[in-house]
């Protein structure tokens, strides 16, 4: 524990996007952070009774020091991003890092190095695949993330914030070729005798062919990714119960991160979700793992031997004037060079 860390009895607050689709959050990183924190506090509660935290449902990412959710507040400390939160909790000896050697004789240092490498793989491969399904397929975006956002956002945020968040995802997907949306075209009714009718039919057929080819490419890329992740799942016996985790007999940040991706993918009502049938048919153990992690993090009252003391609250959204000021400030900061 660092010398400048807050007092041990200082309650942690985790700011996340709100719950939706029967999940603690509709956002991948927020859900991963919630799962990790809940698992960590369950793990440490038997040693430190003071381990409590507040889960703050937030719809204003501009209150975060990085302008993104999730972020953690602990005394005067503010920590952004899932990975930053994991590192901070580990620095306080409140994380999920397991100790000792496993049955293969691997040391803690070796397992940690493997988790770091595979976490990077998840960030660069699985995250792009899931974000493609959530954001780059227009009908999925409208029924999924956009619906979740506008259900929680006040005016005027619901008119500009979803587009801003989607643009961030677009920038991350374009280098890998997984952003295929050219433009959002409005549906215009044509006159039945329009001379362009034949041309429209041809273009529609071309669009169907491109969509089928894109789906085949997506499934192929998903198979390559999931084929590498599936063998990392190992079954472990804990008393009378059997649990399955990635690379460890105990849950780690890698489990929380992978589970968050799969849970969003399997719970969101997406009309064009090519990855879910693939997961169910070829990788059912990965879906079972994600549901197990969720149940392990939030056990039923009957099975809850240890429950973290979590308090869920909602933070009010900034008024429209403050929102406008923050937006203008962000724009000016991006175009005006910072003086050295």
Burial (CB count within 10 angstroms: exposed 0-12, middle 13-18, buried 19+), residue 189: exposed
Over 60: is that where the pLDDT of 64 sits? yes
Q: What angle do CA 52, 148, 144 make, to 5 degrees?
A: 125
- In the structure, what pLDDT confidence band is assigned to residue 240 with cuts at 50, 70 and 90? low
Mean pLDDT on 121-142: 96
Q: Mean pLDDT, the chain, as a whole number?
A: 80
User: What is the pLDDT at residue 205?
Assistant: 43
Cα 334 → chain centroid: 26
Over 50: is that where the pLDDT of 33 sits? yes
The stretches of the chain forming alpha helices (DSSP H) are 28-44, 82-91, 108-121, 127-131, 138-143, 145-152, 157-173, 197-229, 253-267, 275-282, 284-297, 320-335
- In the structure, what pLDDT confidence band is assigned to residue 89 with cuts at 50, 70 and 90? very high
User: What is the pLDDT at residue 41?
Assistant: 84
Q: Looking at the whole model, is its pTM more than 0.85? A: no
Q: Which of 15-19, 23-27, 38-42, 187-191 has the lowest mean pLDDT?
A: 187-191
User: What is the pLDDT at residue 156?
Assistant: 86
Over 60: is that where the pLDDT of 165 sits? yes
């Amino acid at each position: 524990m660092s010398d400048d860390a807050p007092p041990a009895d200082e309650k942690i607050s985790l700011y996340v996007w709100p719950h939706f689709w029967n999940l603690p959050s509709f956002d991948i990183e927020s859900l991963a952070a919630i799962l990790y924190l809940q698992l960590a506090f369950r793990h440490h509660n038997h040693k430190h009774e003071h381990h409590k935290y507040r889960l703050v449902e937030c719809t204003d990412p501009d209150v975060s020091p990085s302008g993104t959710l999730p972020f953690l507040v602990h005394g005067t400390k503010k920590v952004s991003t899932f990975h930053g939160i994991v590192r901070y909790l580990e620095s306080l000896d409140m994380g999920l890092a397991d100790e000792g050697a496993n049955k293969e004789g691997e040391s803690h240092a070796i397992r940690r190095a493997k988790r770091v490498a595979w976490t990077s793989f998840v960030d660069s491969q699985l995250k792009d695949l899931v974000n493609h399904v959530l954001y780059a397929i227009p009908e999925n975006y409208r029924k999924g993330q956009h619906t979740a956002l506008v259900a929680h956002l006040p005016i005027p945020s619901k008119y500009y914030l979803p587009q801003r968040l989607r643009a961030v995802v677009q920038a991350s997907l374009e280098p890998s070729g997984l952003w295929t949306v050219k433009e959002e075209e409005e549906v215009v009714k044509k006159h039945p005798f329009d001379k362009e009718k034949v041309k429209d039919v041809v273009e529609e057929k071309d669009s169907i062919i491109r969509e089928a080819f894109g789906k085949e490419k997506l499934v192929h890329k998903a198979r390559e990714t999931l084929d590498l992740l599936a063998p990392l799942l190992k079954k472990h016996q804990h008393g009378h119960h059997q649990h399955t985790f990635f690379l460890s007999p105990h849950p780690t940040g890698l489990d929380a991160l992978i589970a968050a991706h799969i849970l969003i993918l399997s719970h969101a009502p997406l009309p064009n979700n090519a990855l879910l049938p693939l997961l169910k048919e070829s990788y059912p153990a990965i879906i079972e793992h994600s549901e197990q992690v969720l149940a392990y993090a939030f056990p039923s009252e009957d099975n809850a031997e240890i429950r973290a003391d979590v308090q869920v609250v909602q933070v009010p959204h900034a008024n429209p004037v403050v929102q406008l000021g923050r937006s203008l400030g962000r724009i000016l900061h991006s175009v005006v060079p910072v003086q050295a």
